[in-house]
Structure 1
């Protein structure tokens, strides 16, 4: 999905410390008596996460970055996945163990004594940035054999990294500011900077499903024509705010700064929906987005992740952007 954006990875925030915090469900039998191992980096190296885990326990581990990633300093973009590993224990039984329900042959079975329930996982980088992609796991985990097996894994979403102010970060750990002169001009023209009061402004909440902010009604985004598109902003709170734009009526368009409540946003642009599919997404400065500085398309990484998180496939989506010099 994000292969076209990987060239911008060098701009990501560099870190030298990473802590993984896991919470075990506080329910009966949720702990485990065997060791759990963790892996994060591309080298597939393992680090012991804990020797045992008790129900309701919160376990924090400082990750050995040099072991996991091959060096002491990495970027947040390199933390793409996390997995837990465990060795299950076998229990011996006699021929009469199952009271005639077996073939009467002695042997071993895998024990479920080491099953455990994982509630959540949080990543903390440099004691500043946190990632809560896995804040609601709530899953029982089982080691299927007496060998080291992967019992849980997940993809770390870059868009879920936030700073100490609880705001999402971009590739340079900042948001893109509103240009003040157009903003002041809009105020003088009495433009509304409360998107909840602008007809047609909505928030994407699912598979091309939007929630109209003014009416509170849900809607399915209609396909665009050759003379229409949807203008959008991606806010620091992680919301995609949009409005359909009929380009034949230039006097009626709503500026991106109005969709973003006149505040800084992470990204702004247009997208098109054709035959109930997301055909194209563009990040650029034009008549409808002149209030935000362009970034050469770097911010589209977060937009792509957000669409996918909402269940909107971007497999066949065309991505475009315009540099500030364009």
Structure 2
């Protein structure tokens, strides 16, 4: 597709998926990974370094795909550059805002919802200070996207006096809010507010702790549970799906303690959980 790249240059390529897959509909969340191959003519071709790839769908959605180490592109038997395409990295083309943060499965319980209405609590997560959408792990730090201020932030490790509350939406977004347990109960943001008042796949709390077992200190999830009085999810049925999503986002959950109202769960129990509705 291109020869003799110069430093800082780019290449624009249009791919007609309707032509490649006639009679089929291809959706953005069907795109799981990108693999690039370089074939040189006359047994020679310039080596060039790939920094990033922008995927643009229908001039509407954009995803910035980064290679694991952005290696030099050299002729090889298989792909010489590859990377995963994460759903949570998709954005509107003219905005840095994530595509969605609301969905359906466990409904808000009636009495808690009535209390929310009587207290005039906001069901717009993007209007609440500190509500974020989980992005992943970068440089050993857990990153999220602040929905109100529209900026990426790092989530700090917890102490014994705080935690994070979260909901998992059917579109794959994990919405989180820091919870200071010593603060007034009036300042507590309910799960129903994080879920925009709509049903969710799962909800609960998690904690972040530093992992000092590596050469460099890295943040990891120390505990996750299904403690939500507004949704009352069945952690045995839904926490396995949450862990799967966290792993897709780059989290190492192998040492994360998984708790439900019935006690701790092991990985065998989670692997037997039914699929999410």
TM-score by length of 2: 0.54
Does structure 2 retain, via aligned residues, the 8 Å contact 1:115–1:143? yes
Alpha-carbon separation, structure 2, partners of 1:217 and 1:80: 23
Q: Which has the higher strand share?
A: 1
Question: How does 1:111-122 map onto structure 2 within 5 Å?
Answer: 111-112=45-46, 120=53, 122=55
The count of corresponding residues between Structure 1 and Structure 2 is: 233
Name stretches of at least 5 consecutive residues in structure 1 with no aligned partner: 1-23, 32-54, 66-71, 92-109
> Where does residue 231 of structure 2 map in the other structure?
290
After superposition, the CA RMSD in angstroms is: 5.6
Q: Is 2:131 the partner of 1:190?
A: no
CA 1:321–1:189 in 2, change beyond 3 Å: closer, same or farther? same
Deviation at 1:253, TM superposition (A): 4.0
Q: Is 2:35 the partner of 1:83?
A: yes
Alpha-carbon separation, structure 2, partners of 1:119 and 1:261: 34
> Where does residue 101 of structure 1 map in the other structure?
none
Question: How does 1:21-36 map onto structure 2 within 5 Å?
Answer: 29-30=4-5
> Where does residue 132 of structure 1 map in the other structure?
63
Q: Is 2:85 the partner of 1:156?
A: yes
Deviation at 1:258, TM superposition (A): 2.0
Does structure 2 retain, via aligned residues, the 8 Å contact 1:177–1:293? no
Q: Is 2:12 the partner of 1:60?
A: no
Give the 3-state SS of the residue equivalent to 2:14 in structure 1.
strand
Give the 3-state SS of the residue equivalent to 2:115 in structure 1.
helix
Does structure 2 retain, via aligned residues, the 8 Å contact 1:86–1:149? no
Within the candidate set 240, 257, 260, 2:175 is matched to 240
> Where does residue 189 of structure 2 map in the other structure?
254
> Where does residue 223 of structure 2 map in the other structure?
280
Deviation at 1:232, TM superposition (A): 1.7
Name stretches of at least 5 consecutive residues in structure 2 with no aligned partner: 92-97, 211-218, 262-272
Q: Report Cα offsets for 1:117-155 as digits up to 9, x if no partner.
A: 78636497xx9xx88363899x796334xx645321112
Give the 3-state SS of the residue equivalent to 1:86 in structure 2.
coil
> Where does residue 245 of structure 2 map in the other structure?
302
> Where does residue 73 of structure 2 map in the other structure?
142
CA 1:176–1:90 in 2, change beyond 3 Å: closer, same or farther? same
CA 1:185–1:210 in 2, change beyond 3 Å: closer, same or farther? same
CA 1:224–1:302 in 2, change beyond 3 Å: closer, same or farther? same
Which of these two proteins has the greater Rg computed from alpha carbons? 1
Does structure 1 retain, via aligned residues, the 8 Å contact 2:32–2:86? yes
Within the candidate set 230, 247, 253, 2:164 is matched to 230
CA 1:180–1:209 in 2, change beyond 3 Å: closer, same or farther? same
Alpha-carbon separation, structure 1, partners of 2:72 and 2:34: 15
Alpha-carbon separation, structure 1, partners of 2:198 and 2:167: 11
Alpha-carbon separation, structure 2, partners of 1:238 and 1:254: 18
Alpha-carbon separation, structure 1, partners of 2:53 and 2:185: 48
Does structure 1 retain, via aligned residues, the 8 Å contact 2:106–2:231? no
Q: Report Cα offsets for 1:68-107 as digits up to 9, x if no partner.
A: xxxx9x999996543222332456xxxxxxxxxxxxxxxx
TM-score by length of 1: 0.48
